[in-house]
Structure 1
Amino acid sequence: MFTRQPEWWKESVIYQIYPLTFADGNGDGIGDLQGIIQRLDYLNTGKDKQENALGVDAIWLSPIHQSPMFDNGYDVSDYYDICPTFGTMDDFKLLLEEAHQRDIKVILDLVINHTSNQHPWFLEARSSRYNPKSDWYLWHDPTPDGGIPNNWLSYFGGIGWTYDEQRQQYYYHAFNSNQPDLNWHNPEVRAAIYEIIRYWLNLGVDGFRLDASSVYSQDKYFRNNPVKFGGSEKKYKDQYHIYDKNLPENHEIIREIRSIIDEYDHRVLIGETFIDNRLYDSVIFHGANNDELHLPLTFEFPLSPWYPGYLQREIEKKERLTPADAWSVYFLNNHDLPRHLSRWSECSLCFDTTAIAKASATILLTVRGTPILYYGEELGMINHENIPLEQVRDQAAISCLDEECLPSRDGTRTPMQWDTSAQAGFSFGKDITPWLPVHDNYKTVNVETELTEKDSVLSFYRQLIELRKESEALRKGSWTPLINYPYEHLAYLRETARETILVVINFSYEKNFDLDRAIPAKNWEVLLSTSLQVGEIIALPKLLQPFEVSIFRYHQSPEN
């Protein structure tokens, strides 16, 4: 049986759940904690033989704290309580207990760059410039002509300042105006947040994913960001964001959070690091002494085009830039990105999304690093592109009228597709409208159906996860590419002293299989393949089949 090591997150598969649309436990059409509890056996049973279980090791929950839900939980109004939309604190404690019984770790999304504008801290801060919490947010007087303090913009679109009539000042928000940024220069703010972190760790959570962890710090002098040559000051991508995010103090904050995490046994700290899509700036969030994030989430890999050379380049960059004592993390999807099959099928030679799903899953689960799956990815779920306007829920995106506004993210957040029943089994409530509409393809793309199909996307994911657990090389071996400039297929080795694994992925039709590096031609056991017989010990094929995925283990020949 696979035994998890103290640094369990290095060898685990993490599964992101968007609670609003994962499973509805009370029949009101909205996902909740009881729904997640009822579906835990699908994720992991904690037994040696996991019939029908996916086999993941940890779940990351998008925000469940008390919230007015303007940004679907990413606008917190009480860090110490559960939003009634999802249930109660007792429900969460039960979830924690039931998950741990099944050997599933629980990671919480922690939104501490900003709060809701309905948080008691903000209500106090805006009440008076002399309130004890008046300096807990970023306030600034208007310019002499009544204008905004500087040129900082909101990531969601438009200016990053909102005027508050009650206080007669502007407050800064990196995201929506309903999400005022906390003032991390204030030691009282830090102390309050750190107390919250300890509260949840003491409750038994296994770690946190820090939302927007690269934008905690802002210039205390509020200087204007420089504008790129030929760019517009009013466009977010045209500014050099040197004063409104990723200042040196940002790393100091994360180191302080990490020091709290390290007070507890076997906890993990994950962080969202988006720094103008530059991998080097993101990997430094490991820390000079590996004392910041265990797993910094970078976006270069998921935002790559579906092209082997480009994907290999991003993997090679991570391999070279990640510090020797640190660890990488990979993902294809999350709650903010269009689902990868919708993104990649448009730029692929292959119009079979099942083939792309299996190929991309193979990369995700066989590269060197921790994989994070997004719910429904293992089924081959795609974006819902036709959500009626009256059913749109992404208020934070649609409330902005600026030309650079974030597009609605509802299409990637639609209900998990469990079976062929009404609402795809997401909810058992009658005559209810689910939080978001179910995708039309749920009759064929669902857990129940795919569990019975040997060649389904779900079956392939389950085999990959099981193979990863059984293989030392896939969990912690080195990664070596075998093709210098791949155009139509990837081939790489995962190796430890005791095991050699070869992964081959064809992105095209029939293709000659030539490698730049000499490796043994014979005695390869087929571990998993879309074209070859699993279990056979064969010579490496001379020709790859259309869109073939094959994973081999080398067997030393008897004469050696």
Structure 2
Amino acid sequence: MNFHRPFFSKTSNSRVSSKILDTNEQLNEGIYRCKHGVSYQIFVQSFYDSNGDGIGDLNGIRLKLDYLKGLGISLIWLMPIHPSKSYHKYDVVDHFSIHPDYGTLDDFKQLIREAHERNILIIIDLVVNHTSCDHPWFVDCRNNRSSQYRDFYIWQDSEKIQKLGHKRLATPDSGLTGVWHPVVEQNENENKPPTNTISELVIAAVQDNISKFSSQIPTAPPLPSSTEIKNNKKAKNNQNNNYYAMFDPSMPDLNYDNENVKRAVIDIGKYWLKFGVDGFRLDAAKHIYKPHRPKDNHNWWQLFRSEMEKINSNVYLVGEVWDMAYVIAPYLRGIPSMFNFEMALYIMNCVHRERCQGLLNRHLENIEFYTATNPEYLDALFLTNHDQTRLMTEMNKNKQKAKMCASILLTLSGSPFIYYGEEIGMLGDKPDENIREPFYWTDKSDNTGQTTWLKCTYTTRSNGCVPFDEQINDSYSLYSHYKTLIHIRNQSDALTFGDLIPIDVKNASICAFERIYGQDTVLVIHNLSTKSVTIPLPNNISENDVTVLWTTNNQNQLGKKNVTVSGYSTIILKPNIAN
């Protein structure tokens, strides 16, 4: 292990601990670099339409791989791609297939192949806290207590629910307070299909995929037809016929006290790793067991990780645990990377207040706390995602503030994630559909790639949004800001891998820090205020000792012993001499 003393900081700091890759690790440096690079979250339905049906698809993403590579992306996170009844697809009907709107397994295989050719990793949303109420396991058991899949879910009788109570406190990731739901029994004499029915299109596509890849897919019950669902026998009474579902009645939770469930989920993970995906975003990771059983959650994810690493020792696992740091830390033995919801709020709040107070110290406190549990912890930073108000809306359409948020995100230590459309300033607020509107490629009517499944109410020209095809050649656009800074980051080992050392310049509006990795070091200075600020160069450095690596404003300039940083701007300095 090799360490290098700071150039811009006055004294060495115990937090400087960047590990330099040894010979064996060089073999996997490409994967290591991709994991530490900039990642991109895609809601497939809204991204790019390859066949003119108005719905984004896997081939559409494949056609836009050069767009993503040009932006500087090294990892793609695909939101759920499996058969589902909903538009969001977090209610999975079959974990081994692709939703027919999105394409086929062959399409996905080709996407992975071409992404890897561009040194881009692909991870997929793994939704295994629950299934759809139309999943074959649940369909088979919901009115059949003797079903072999009955114990795949959590059941309770009405009397006990009334006695113990059926409410829970709302959490940031689920506002549903009623968690026990009676099975809705179908009327056998009704002529119309039952409400909870998989479309025949989905059934046909799934069955076709299963027949093609049956030798690769773990054993699972066959998908029922609509007629079979309709003809299910009703339960004789309602005793013990209430199921647990904490997100929505259409998404019953799985029972992880059943070893068969654990084995089935491990098989799902192994299947996709063998298929070629590079890892998983682990949805609702803290809800696998009920809230009073966190240790069981921790143990499960450690088991899952160990099983996945048997297939791919470099598997990338990033988790969603929306909670306090002390709750998150024990998960890190099983999930080495975790989305940092706290820092997302910190960054945006600091930009709103135009003050950096507490941001850097809190960032480092979190990293120290988490690496004490897992030294390989990788901080998954982001600004907003598919469950939150979009960045440009949060910033009240202020492009300069959005740029400042991006600048901080892309220069902090960690692995930054960008939500699709963030780089072009898409708008969106609750309800969720409005946060997942079609990517704004163009206003031109002849562009068949523009998705149209949802009419945009936020990301429109009348709301001040500018399509990508008008931003690409504008050097001052939000897109150009993201692209330029991502490429600066990708070319700097200090910004990609390095540790962070705060530098106190005695000005609350200035966020200044050194990033250091081996022989590479940079000084990053963000001015969060509207006013130009002149500060002394740290560590008695003069203008002859440094070069401007990048700046967002041409009025930012070096003096003999100081640097002037304009309002809402960033400057990155690099030493002229080897230290």
Asked if 1:152 corresponds to 2:168, the answer is: yes
Matches within 5 A, 1:187-198: 187-198=259-270
> 2:247, 2:59 → 1: CA distance?
31
Q: 2:406 aligns with which of 361, 364, 374?
A: 361
Asked if 1:321 corresponds to 2:363, the answer is: no
Whether the aligned pair in 2 keeps the contact of 1:20 and 1:435 (CA below 8 Å) is: no
The CA deviation string for residues 250-283 of structure 1, in whole angstroms up to 9 with x for no partner, is: 01111111112212143201111113xx123223
The secondary structure found in structure 1 opposite 2:405 is helix
Q: CA deviation at 1:142?
A: 1.5
Q: CA deviation at 1:216?
A: 0.4
The secondary structure found in structure 1 opposite 2:403 is helix
Residue 392 of structure 1 corresponds to none
Matches within 5 A, 1:214-225: 214-218=286-290
Q: CA deviation at 1:9?
A: 4.3
Aligned letter for 2:41? Answer: Q
> 1:546, 1:73 → 2: CA distance?
43
> 2:446, 2:488 → 1: CA distance?
33
Aligned letter for 1:272? Answer: E
Query: Which protein, 1 or 2, shows the higher relative CO under an 8 Å CA cutoff with sep ≥ 6?
Result: 2
The secondary structure found in structure 1 opposite 2:513 is strand
The structure with the greater share of residues assigned to helix is 2
Matches within 5 A, 1:458-477: 458-477=479-498
Q: 1:28 aligns with which of 53, 76, 82?
A: 53
Residue 163 of structure 1 corresponds to 182
Asked if 1:95 corresponds to 2:114, the answer is: no
Q: 1:455 aligns with which of 476, 487, 490?
A: 476
The secondary structure found in structure 1 opposite 2:307 is helix
Q: CA deviation at 1:86?
A: 1.0
Identity of aligned residues (%): 32
Structure 2: 5+ residue stretches without partners: 1-26, 185-233, 351-355
TM-score by length of 2: 0.78
Distance 1:531 1:435, change over 3 A: closer
Q: CA deviation at 1:214?
A: 1.0
Q: 1:200 aligns with which of 272, 275, 283?
A: 272
Q: CA deviation at 1:147?
A: 6.3
Distance 1:541 1:509, change over 3 A: farther
Q: CA deviation at 1:377?
A: 1.1
Aligned letter for 2:383? Answer: L
Aligned letter for 2:332? Answer: H
Q: 1:173 aligns with which of 241, 245, 253?
A: 245
Asked if 1:419 corresponds to 2:464, the answer is: no
Matches within 5 A, 1:143-292: 143=159, 150-152=166-168, 155-164=174-183, 166-167=234-235, 168=238, 169-218=241-290, 242-243=291-292, 247-263=294-310, 264-275=312-323, 278-287=324-333, 292=334
> 1:174, 1:426 → 2: CA distance?
37
Moved more, 134-143 or 182-191: 134-143
Aligned letter for 2:368? Answer: R
Aligned letter for 1:445? Answer: V
Distance 1:528 1:174, change over 3 A: same
Whether the aligned pair in 2 keeps the contact of 1:148 and 1:161 (CA below 8 Å) is: no
Distance 1:128 1:84, change over 3 A: same
Q: CA deviation at 1:504?
A: 1.0
Size of the aligned set, in residue pairs, is 485
Distance 1:501 1:8, change over 3 A: closer
Q: CA deviation at 1:317?
A: 2.8
Asked if 1:64 corresponds to 2:81, the answer is: yes
Whether the aligned pair in 2 keeps the contact of 1:418 and 1:446 (CA below 8 Å) is: yes
Residue 349 of structure 2 corresponds to 306
Aligned letter for 1:73? Answer: K
Q: CA deviation at 1:134?
A: 1.0
> 1:474, 1:75 → 2: CA distance?
38
Matches within 5 A, 1:130-145: 130-143=146-159
Q: CA deviation at 1:485?
A: 7.6
> 2:414, 2:540 → 1: CA distance?
24
Aligned letter for 1:299? Answer: F
Distance 1:268 1:138, change over 3 A: same
The secondary structure found in structure 2 opposite 1:322 is helix
The CA deviation string for residues 316-341 of structure 1, in whole angstroms up to 9 with x for no partner, is: 33233121432212011211111122
Q: 2:89 aligns with which of 48, 73, 76?
A: 73
The secondary structure found in structure 2 opposite 1:550 is strand
> 2:164, 2:537 → 1: CA distance?
58
The CA deviation string for residues 236-256 of structure 1, in whole angstroms up to 9 with x for no partner, is: xxxxxx42xx61010111111
> 2:277, 2:493 → 1: CA distance?
27
Q: CA deviation at 1:145?
A: 8.7
Residue 128 of structure 1 corresponds to 144
Q: CA deviation at 1:511?
A: 4.5
Residue 459 of structure 2 corresponds to 439
Q: CA deviation at 1:205?
A: 0.5
Structure 1: 5+ residue stretches without partners: 45-52, 219-241, 347-351, 386-406
Distance 1:537 1:499, change over 3 A: farther
Q: CA deviation at 1:294?
A: 2.4
Whether the aligned pair in 1 keeps the contact of 2:30 and 2:119 (CA below 8 Å) is: no
Residue 408 of structure 1 corresponds to 431
The CA deviation string for residues 523-549 of structure 1, in whole angstroms up to 9 with x for no partner, is: 221111122379x97646454312121
Q: CA deviation at 1:423?
A: 9.1
Residue 547 of structure 2 corresponds to 525
> 1:286, 1:95 → 2: CA distance?
30
Aligned letter for 2:431? Answer: S
Aligned letter for 2:552? Answer: T
Residue 390 of structure 1 corresponds to none
Distance 1:15 1:474, change over 3 A: same
Whether the aligned pair in 1 keeps the contact of 2:38 and 2:74 (CA below 8 Å) is: yes
Whether the aligned pair in 1 keeps the contact of 2:84 and 2:92 (CA below 8 Å) is: yes
Q: CA deviation at 1:446?
A: 2.4
> 2:124, 2:76 → 1: CA distance?
8
The CA deviation string for residues 114-165 of structure 1, in whole angstroms up to 9 with x for no partner, is: 0000001111221222211111111111126956754335623231111125
Aligned letter for 2:546? Answer: W
TM-score by length of 1: 0.80
Asked if 1:549 corresponds to 2:570, the answer is: yes
Whether the aligned pair in 2 keeps the contact of 1:282 and 1:298 (CA below 8 Å) is: no
Whether the aligned pair in 2 keeps the contact of 1:483 and 1:516 (CA below 8 Å) is: no
Whether the aligned pair in 2 keeps the contact of 1:524 and 1:539 (CA below 8 Å) is: no
Say what the alpha-carbon RMSD is for the aligned residues: 2.7
Whether the aligned pair in 2 keeps the contact of 1:21 and 1:436 (CA below 8 Å) is: no
Q: CA deviation at 1:521?
A: 3.8
Q: CA deviation at 1:461?
A: 1.3
The structure having more radius of gyration, on CA atoms, is: 2
The CA deviation string for residues 434-474 of structure 1, in whole angstroms up to 9 with x for no partner, is: 46557213886222211111121111211111111211111
Moved more, 484-493 or 203-212: 484-493
> 2:39, 2:467 → 1: CA distance?
20
